[in-house]
Amino acid sequence: MPTIFIFFGFRFMFYSNDHEPIHVHILKDRCEAKYNVQTLEKVYNHGFKKQELAIIESIIEENVEIITERWKNYFEGKK
């Protein structure tokens, strides 16, 4: 489970066998959410409150390039 970064205790990561579209999983305190990165579409949310989701979305928006670069580097390196 490669971790991209951790902000405010939110762990942004992807699974080593993940698939496109480029997306990120966010974990914290037994909660998990998944977002498609390019569209900022929430795929699911298990336990995060609205205020936490707003923080998560803001972090993703500010770091789209980093998330995308890490995803591509990881998965293109596996080919």
Helix (H, G, I), strand (E, B) or coil at 1: coil
Would you report the helix, strand and coil content of the chain in percent, each value rounded to 5?
A: 35, 35, 30
User: 70 is in which domain, residue-wise?
Assistant: 3-77
* Nearest in space to 56 (alpha carbons), one of 67, 16, 69: 67
Number of domains making up the chain:
1
pTM for the model stands at: 0.93
10-59 per-position pLDDT tens digit? 999 999 999 899 999 999 999 999 999 999 999 999 999 999 999 999 99
- 79 pLDDT above the threshold of 80: no
The pLDDT of residue 76:
85
